[in-house]
Structure 1
Amino acid sequence: MTPSPLHTDPDCLFCKIAAGKIPSRLVYQDDELFAFHDIHPSAPVHFLMIPKWHIPAMALLTDEHAPMMGRMMVLAPQLALQQGCRPYPQGGFRMVCNTGVDGAQDIHHLHIHIMGGPRPWLRG
């Protein structure tokens, strides 16, 4: 799946960040994915990974999104290590994907929080 302007929301905060219209502290980007540091980190390492096109929530994924989600799952541990998480099994990280109002999703653009570093963390 290739992102296009038809798959973005001009009012979405994360679409604007991925497009470079709002500054962020970049962790990673390619044609499909964008990762950036959380502005209110809950752990020593805390960044978000998003698709570059607008998918409002994990609950709305379809089979066509499977390759992109697979890439996210494979990329997350690599980026976690690059950002300072210790290797498995003594180290590690947590991945969280809030979905919908009951799932505490604040920004309705699919995003995964990757958090790690020495415990205890501020939250979570």
Structure 2
Amino acid sequence: MSDASNPQADPATKPTRRTVLAIGAVAASTVITVRPALAQTAGSVLNCEIPVPAPQAAGSYIAQDGSLVPAGTAGAFPPPPRPITGEEAKALLRGGPTPAGIDSQSAQAYANYIRRLQAGMSGFTCYASLQMPR
């Protein structure tokens, strides 16, 4: 509809060119400010840690299916010597290279443990952030 046929259109309420340019400048500075923050977030996601198993289950072994079993259970694996970083977890979950010092069978059990993490468990926030699309 044109302004002539729209009695409610008031030329005083239309933004001027100067106003439009000012809004564009604010939007551009917001993009410049947010972009480094997103890059920092992506980096921190890869540096987060997932304890395998969670501290409250210390001493447990990890079965091939990722469940926790008593220490010494046949076919189960001892926990890794340190928490698994987000970057390592991402590689494990995609079937990529195993972290240094971890054999492929135990790595698969650890990946299955990570897949079983639920809200409220240690490492879940890190795991969930790895699932977010970028």
Q: TM-score, normalised by structure 2?
A: 0.26
Greater relative contact order (Cα < 8 A, sep 6+):
1
Q: TM-score, normalised by structure 1?
A: 0.27
